[in-house]
A and B are shown apart, each in its own frame.
Chain A
Amino acid sequence: MQRILITGSNRGIGLELVRRYLRREDTLIFATCRNPQAAAPLQALAAQHPHRLLILRLEVTDAGQIVEAVTAVRIKVDGLDLLINNAGTYAGRVGDADPQVTQFGALEVGPMLDMLRVNTVAPLMMAQAFADLLRRGHNPRLVNVSSDAGSLTMWDGGAYTYPASKTALNMFTRCLAHDLRADGITVISLHPGFIQTDMGGPRATLTLDEAIPGVIRVIDNLAPGDSGQFLNWDGSRVPW
C-alpha cells in the first residue's frame, strides 16, 4: 500500500494525480485542498473509493491547518511514502496575471510576498511538518512541483515573482535533499510540463492526459541518486 499526500488536489494537476493514483489498487490517498465542501470532483471520487481516498482541508500557508493535517494523517497511518507539494499560484494565468507580481513598474511587495509564501515557503513548511511520517515511510519521496519557469538557464522573458518563487523553491529542494538524505528520503523538484489547466491556460502545449502519466512514471522511477535534482515530466533533467 503506497500512502500518498497531495496538496492543491481539487483541480488541475493535483486532481489528475489523485485520479491516476486511485486507479492503482494499492494506494491510500490524502487529497488536501482549501475548501473540501466545494471540491465536487474530489467528493465524487471519495464516494467511489471511501477507503482509499481521504479529503483533508489544507490551506498550505496556514500553520495551524498543517498541524491538523499531520494529526489527521497520523490517525490513519504510521508512515507516508510520497508527499507531493503541488499547490501553487500564478496570481492569474500564464500571460494574464496580476501586474503587481509580474510587471516591472507595477510590482508591489505585499502581493510578491504572498506568492512566495504559497509557492516557496509553504512546501518547506509541509516538508518539515511531514518529515517524521516520511521517515517512517517505505522508500519515501518528497516531490516539490516546481516549473521550468524557475530555471535560470532557460529563462526566456518570464514574469518576475512566479519564476523567482520556483527558483527559490529549487534551492529549498537542494537543502532538503541534503538534510533528509540520511533518513533515506528522496527529494526532487519536478517540472510537470506546460499543461492546460486554469493556470496553464488553453494555449499550454500539453493536456493533463499527456503529461501526468509521465509525471507519475518519473516519481515511480526515482532513485536515491536523483535526490536534489530538478527533473522534467519526461524524466530528463531541467538545467538550473
Chain B
Amino acid sequence: MQRILITGSNRGIGLELARQYAARGAQVFATCRDPQSADQLHALAQAHADRVHLVALDTGHPESIAEAASTIHAQTDGLDVLINNAAINPRDDRLRAFGQLEPDPILDVLRVNSIGPVLVTQAFADLLRRGNSARVVNISSGAGSLEQQANGCGYTYHASKAALNMFTRCLAGTLQADGIITIVLNPGWVKTDMGGPNATLEAEQSIRGILDVIDRLTIDDNGAFCQWDGKRLPW
C-alpha cells in the first residue's frame, strides 16, 4: 500500500489528490491547516476509514510542521510520496503592484510557498528514506518559469515559485543519495479557488495526469520541472 502525504488537502488540487490516491487504495495522510472545518476531507475519511488520516499541518509554522511530523511518525514507519501542494496567491496590491509593494506581505508568501515545502520535506526526510522508491513532488506553476515571463508578471507569486524551483533542485541534489526522486510540477490551469472559474482544466483531469506523471518518474527526472500532462517546462 502506497503511503502518501499531501499538504493543503482540504480543497482544490490537494483535495482531489487525496481523493484519487484514496480511490486507488493508498494510505493518505491528508494534512491541512484546520482539520475541524475540512468537511470534504472528513467525508473522504469516512468513506475510507482506515486509510485516510486527517492531520493538522500549517506549512508556514515550524511548530505545526513538527507536531504533524510526530503525529505521522506514530502512524507509519515510511512514506512513499510527499506532495507539497499548499500555497497562497492573495489578491493584494502589496504583493503584485509596482509602487505599492511591501516587504512583510511579500515575505509571508515566500514563507509559505517557497520555504514551507523545504521545511516539510526536511521534517519527513527520515520517513521518506524508509519509503519504497520515495518521491517528493513540489507543486509549482508555469508562473515560476523565468523563461515564460517575458511579458510581465505579478512579482511575489512568480518569485515564490521560482524560488521553490531552486529549492527543489537543491533537495533533488541532497536526496538523490537516498534514492528519493524530487521534482517540481506544474498542475496546469485548474478550476479551484485559486485558478478561478475560467481555468482550462477540471481538477479531476489535472490530477489524473499528475498521478500518472508521479507513477512514471525515473531517476532521469530528478530535479526536473514537469507538467501534469507529462511535458517538461523550461526554467
* A residues neighboring B (CB under 8 Å): 61, 63, 104-105, 107-109, 112-113, 116-117, 120-122, 124-125, 128, 131, 150, 152-153, 155, 157-160, 163-165, 167-172, 174-176, 178-180, 228, 230, 239-240
For window 174-195 of chain B, which residues contact chain A by CB distance below 8 Å?
174
For window 85-137 of chain B, which residues contact chain A by CB distance below 8 Å?
98-99, 101, 103, 106-107, 110-111, 114-115, 118-119, 122, 125
Q: How far is the CA of A168 from the CA of B115 in the complex (A)?
A: 12
Q: How far, in Å, is A52 (CB) from chain B's closest CB?
A: 31
Q: How far, in Å, is A138 (CB) from chain B's closest CB?
A: 22
Check if A164 sits within 8 Å of B173, measured CB to CB: no
B18-26, B37-45, B158-166: which lies at the interface: B158-166
Check if B150 sits within 8 Å of A153, measured CB to CB: no
| Cβ contacts under 8 Å, B235 to chain A | 152-153, 239-240
B208 proximal to A (CB < 8 A): no
Q: How far, in Å, is A136 (CB) from chain B's closest CB?
A: 16
**Can you sample 16 A-B contacts with CB below 8 Å?**
A104-B122, A104-B170, A116-B110, A125-B101, A150-B166, A155-B223, A157-B173, A158-B173, A164-B166, A168-B159, A174-B146, A175-B155, A180-B98, A230-B146, A239-B235, A240-B235
B75 proximal to A (CB < 8 A): no
Q: How far, in Å, is B115 (CB) from chain A's closest CB?
A: 5
Q: How far, in Å, is A185 (CB) from chain B's closest CB?
A: 11
Count A/B pairs, Cβ under 8 Å: 134
Instruction: Considering the complex, give the chain A residue whose CB is closest to the CB of B171.
Output: A104
| Cβ contacts under 8 Å, B166 to chain A | 150, 152, 155, 158, 163-164, 167-168
Q: How far is the CA of A137 from the CA of B23 in the complex (A)?
A: 62
> A63-B103, A128-B99 known; A171 and B170 CB under 8 Å?
no
Check if B163 sits within 8 Å of A178, measured CB to CB: no
Q: How far is the CA of A196 from the CA of B113 in the complex (A)?
A: 34
Check if B159 sits within 8 Å of A117, measured CB to CB: no
In the A-B complex, the 8 residue pairs with the closest CB atoms: A178-B152, A152-B235, A240-B146, A168-B163, A171-B159, A167-B166, A168-B159, A164-B166
Q: How far is the CA of A109 from the CA of B63 in the complex (A)?
A: 11
Instruction: Considering the complex, give the chain A residue whose CB is closest to the CB of B147.
Output: A240
The total of chain B residues at the interface (CB under 8 A) is 43
| Cβ contacts under 8 Å, A113 to chain B | 107, 110-111, 115
| Cβ contacts under 8 Å, A152 to chain B | 146, 162, 165-166, 169, 225, 235
| Cβ contacts under 8 Å, B160 to chain A | 168
Q: How far is the CA of A175 from the CA of B148 in the complex (A)?
A: 11
> A128-B99, A174-B146 known; A107 and B163 CB under 8 Å?
no
B71 proximal to A (CB < 8 A): no
Q: How far, in Å, is B154 (CB) from chain A's closest CB?
A: 7
Q: How far, in Å, is A7 (CB) from chain B's closest CB?
A: 15
> A174-B150, A176-B98 known; A167 and B111 CB under 8 Å?
no
